Amino acid sequence: MSRVGGHGRPSAVWEERLRAGFISVVLVACGGKVATDAPGLGGASGNGAAPEGIGGAVPSTGGVPAADSDGGPRPAANCPEPRPITQAEHDQYKNSACVGWAAESDPILLACELVVMVDRTMESPFADPRTSRWAATRRAIVDAVARHPAVDIGAVLAPNLAPTGAVPSVDAQPSSACVAESGVFPLTASLGADVNGRERFEALLSAVEPSPGRPLESAYARGLGAVAAQLGEIAILVVTDGPPTLAAGCRNPTGELAPVSMDPFLQAITNAANLGVRTHVIGLPGSEDVATDLSRAALLGGTAVEGCNAALPDGCHHEPTTEDELRAALDLVLGPGPTNPICRLDLPPPPAGEELDLATVEYFLMSGAEYFEVAADETGSCDNGWRFEGSQIVLEEQLCSQLLASKWLRPEVLIGCDIGLFR
């Protein structure tokens, strides 16, 4: 039986490390004599049942509390909180391993500033003629924030000067002439997990009205100022449905809202990259005439999409044509969400000639050089342990959410050939 299910003392140290915000994951499985085609593994029945021999584990209920004998739902129960173990204990497991697997994950996005051009053209239809570009974008942003609760979010929605819009001038003007303060949402920690913050954010989005002008350079400068001092993985997301029509200082040399050069904007992205701030770009329908410049912006911002032609450049930014594609682009920008693979780890293949002993799985969480042992869900009603689901080891929802909020994640699988250590 796995030792994980046996511990029971809660850990104040664990709670402190969660608040500190730096958690990694270590999974340990031990080589033994259970065949990998046992029920629940690759090529098995796929019914979600836990493989036989797992210390009293029951078939997975998919996160739903199992039923009592009278048919009613079993009350949800907490597994014991993660228990600290010593470096020596961890090293003993690691030194016994004869094969291992590790995946260094990219750092999870800590903060993202949304810079959205809400020109009057955003009233044009998106894919559905009944839905405007702004309505689809607003809805997709709200949903994306909810799906990525750990990311700090701020926004600059410009110009937001309905009904007249931004008034161009050949001379420099205050930024308020093309970026209204009413369209600025301050960077808010873990916005998706902040109910009150989300309500304020959604209220601001609902109040923003499309109006003439795309002050891309001024809005980008405002957004960069909000995140430049932040530490860690920081990004700006630019969303536009056309070329900028106002340069820095809310200027346009023609005195009209006509397209201006994107070169200063591209230089600003380069400067931001030198500060460690990446820039993602979403070009909505209507931006086709500046697709090459938007692709160049993504390249300079360090966020070129997979498969783009950097030589042209072409297709290096996100170009959604439907609301579903827009949602997918936002998910790619904001990074791992509840489906983060860190919460669903594939069982590693055994060494040649060996078989995994699934009764000896140990799950640890790592904070720096400190390790915490996580309990197995042996009842199907746990909300902060781990369980088998098919050929994966899955963290329960509560613990997964805590890990996602911890910002940094790293999985490691170790397989020992001598199971005596774990018995």
Residue 176 lies in a domain: yes
Domain that holds residue 411: 3-64+75-106+338-422
- Residue 343 and residue 402: Cα distance in Å, rounded? 11
CATH number of the domain enclosing 235: 3.40.50.410
Residues 301 and 231 in one domain: yes
Q: How many domains does the chain have?
A: 2
pLDDT, tens digit (0-9, with 9 covering 90-100), for 283-324? 999 999 999 999 999 999 999 998 888 888 889 999 999 999
Report residue 330's pLDDT band, with 50, 70 and 90 as the boundaries: very high
Confidence band, pLDDT 50/70/90 cuts, at residue 58: very low
Whether 30 shows a pLDDT value over 70: the answer reads no
Looking at the fold, whether 94 and 228 belong to one and the same domain comes out as no
Length of the chain: 423
Question: Same domain for 126 and 101?
Answer: no
Report for 50-59, 213-222, 342-351: range of highest mean pLDDT: 213-222
The answer on 190 and 133 residing in a single domain is yes
For 306, residues 6+ apart whose C-beta sits below 8 A from its C-beta are none
Residue 204 has pLDDT above 80, yes or no: yes
Q: Using N-to-C axis directions, what is the helix angle for 323-334 and 133-147, rounded to 10°?
A: 40
| Judgement on whether residues 99 and 161 belong to the same structural domain of the protein | no
Q: DSSP state, 422?
A: G
The pLDDT of residue 75:
38
Check residue 413 and give its pLDDT. 57
69 within a domain of the structure (yes/no): no
- Tell me, what's the pLDDT at 233? 81
- Of residues 246 and 46, the one with the higher pLDDT is 246
* CA pair distance 335, 186, nearest whole angstrom: 21
pLDDT tens digits, 344-372? 777 777 777 777 777 777 777 776 667 78
Same domain, 43 and 154: no
Per-residue pLDDT, 282: 98
- In this structure, the answer to whether residues 83 and 129 fall within a common structural domain is no
Of 309, 334, 359, which residue sits at a domain end? 334
Query: HEC states along 109-177?
Result: CCEEEEEEECCHHHHCECCCCCCEHHHHHHHHHHHHHHHCCCCEEEEEEECCCCCCCCCCECCCCCHHH
Lowest-confidence region among 247-256, 386-395, 398-407:
398-407
Give yes or no: residues 238 and 255 share one domain: yes
Q: How many CA atoms lie within 13 A of 314 on its CB side?
A: 3
pLDDT score of 422 more than 70: no
For residue 80, tell me if it sits in a domain: yes
At 410, the pLDDT band (50, 70, 90 cuts) reads low
As a whole number of angstroms, the distance between CA 273 and CA 303 comes to 10
